[in-house]
Amino acid sequence: MSSAFFQARRRRALLLGSVTFLLHWTVLGWLNGQLGRQSLPRAADEVTAVARLLPDDAPHPVVPPPALLPLRSEPLPPPPPPPPPAQLADAVPAGLPVAAGASSADTAATDGTAAGQVGAPLAGPGVESVAQAVPAPAPAAAPPAPPVRSYRVDLPPSADMTLDVDRVDADGTHWSGEATLGWRLQSGGYRAKVEVGIRLLFARVNLLELTSEGATGENGFAPAVMTEKRRGRALTATHFNRQDGTITFSASQNKYPLAAGAQDKASVPLQLAAIARADPGQLNDSIDMQVGEDRDATVFHFVLVGQEDIDTRLGKLRAWHLSRPPKPGSYNSRLDIWLAPERGWYPVKIRNTEASGAVTTQTANNIVMTGS
C-alpha cells in the first residue's frame, strides 16, 4: 500500500470524528434547553400561586410546627408520685417559734406571703394547703409549777455590803478580789446589784455583774427581771412573767412555770435573810425555792447545817449555816450561805464549790445600812 492510501484513510477518520462531535454537541444543547423550561418554581412564586387559588374570606391554613423528637428512643420516666403527708411533715422545719397569740394572718404578713402577694399559698377548689394536709400537733400542756412551801418573810432593810473574795481554782491557782452587794427597798418594789472582781497588781477587774429588780409582797422578793454580765460574754436576761406565770430567758428558748416565791441568783441570799428574820425556826426544816438563772430554772433545796462562829474583818460572828448540796440532774455545785442574827440576819459569808473542785468564798468586811 502506498502512502497516499494511508493519508486518505486518515482524512476520513478525522472527518467522521468531527461530524460525531458536532452531532453530540447539538443534542446536548437541545436537552439542556428542554430541562431549563421544566425547572421547579421559586418559593415566592409557589406562595403567590397558592394565595391566588384561595378566596379572600377563606381561612388560611395553619401549619403546625415540627414536633420535637426525643434524643433517645427510650420512653421518658413518669413523674414521681407526690410525697405522703408524713414526708411533708418532716419537710416543715421544726423549732421556728411563733409568738403566743399570733394568728395565721400575722404569720403570713411576717413572712411576706399574705394573700394577694407574690409567693402566697395557692387556694381554690382542688388545692389543699400544707396546713390541711399535715395537721399541726396539739400543743403540749405546760407542766405545773414545782410545789414549794410558803414562808413568812420580813424583808431586810436596804444596805450596802462589801465582801472579800478568795478563789482557789481546781489546779490550785489562788485569786483574791472584792465583791459588793447592795439593795434598795422602794414603795412596793426593790432593786439589787452584785459585782464581783479580782485584784491584779494595782487594778481591779470586774468578772461578774448581776442586777435584779421587781416587786415585794407577802412572799418576799418577787423578781421581774435579772440581768447577768460576765467578762467576755454578752449580757443575758431572765424574765419572771407574772401575768402568764412563766420564766423565760434571752439566752435560750426554755420556758418554765413560775412558782410562788421564785427568786433569781442575786436575790437568793436576801430571800433567805427575809425568811430567817420573820421566824428563825423556819430554818430548822429544809428551805425550797425556785431559782431562775441565765438559761433554766430549778428548785434550790437548802438544809440547815448548824450554828458556827466565823472570822471576819467585822470580828467573830455567830452565824447560821445553810447549805444547798449538789442535786444530780439539776446542778453539780454546792452553795453555802451563813446568816448572822446580830447583823440583821444579813448574809455575811457565801461559798460556792464547783463540780471541778474550784472554790470561791466571799466574806463580809463592811456593812452600811441605808434604810430603817
At residue 3, the pLDDT reads 64
pLDDT tens digits, one per residue of 211-246: 999 999 999 999 999 999 999 999 999 999 999 999
Q: 160 Cβ partners below 8 Å, 6+ apart? A: 180, 181, 182, 367, 368, 370
Residue 331 maps to a domain: yes
Residue-range definition of the domain harbouring residue 224: 159-369
Q: Give the CATH number of the domain where residue 198 resides.
A: 2.50.20
pLDDT tens digits, one per residue of 248-257: 999 999 999 9
Residue 148 maps to a domain: no
At residue 215, the pLDDT reads 97
At residue 121, the pLDDT reads 38
pLDDT tens digits, one per residue of 10-40: 777 777 777 666 666 665 565 555 544 444 3
Cα–Cα distance measured from residue 302 to residue 350, given in angstroms and rounded to the nearest whole number: 13
Residue 2 maps to a domain: no
**In the predicted structure, residue 6 carries a pLDDT above the cut 90:** no
Query: What's the count of helices (H) and strands (E) in the chain, helices before strands?
Result: 6, 15
**In the predicted structure, residue 82 carries a pLDDT above the cut 80:** no
At residue 204, the pLDDT reads 80
Residue 23 maps to a domain: no
pLDDT tens digits, one per residue of 264-283: 999 999 999 999 999 999 99
**Residue owning grid cell 400542756:** 141
Q: Residue 367 belongs to what H/E stretch?
A: strand 359-369
At residue 9, the pLDDT reads 74
Q: Residue 204 belongs to what H/E stretch?
A: strand 203-217
Band of the pLDDT at 199, cuts 50, 70, 90?
A: confident
Average pLDDT of the chain is 76
Smallest Cα–Cα separation from 306: which of 284, 327, 334?
Answer: 284
Stretch among 142-151, 197-206, 255-264 having the lowest mean pLDDT: 142-151
Band of the pLDDT at 247, cuts 50, 70, 90?
A: very high
Residue 49 maps to a domain: no
Cell of 198: 479580782
Residue 218 maps to a domain: yes
**In the predicted structure, residue 352 carries a pLDDT above the cut 90:** yes
Q: 313 Cβ partners below 8 Å, 6+ apart? A: 164, 363, 364, 365, 366
How many domains does the chain divide into?
Answer: 1
pTM of model > 0.75 = no
Residue 222 DSSP SS3? strand
Residue 267 maps to a domain: yes
Residue 132 maps to a domain: no
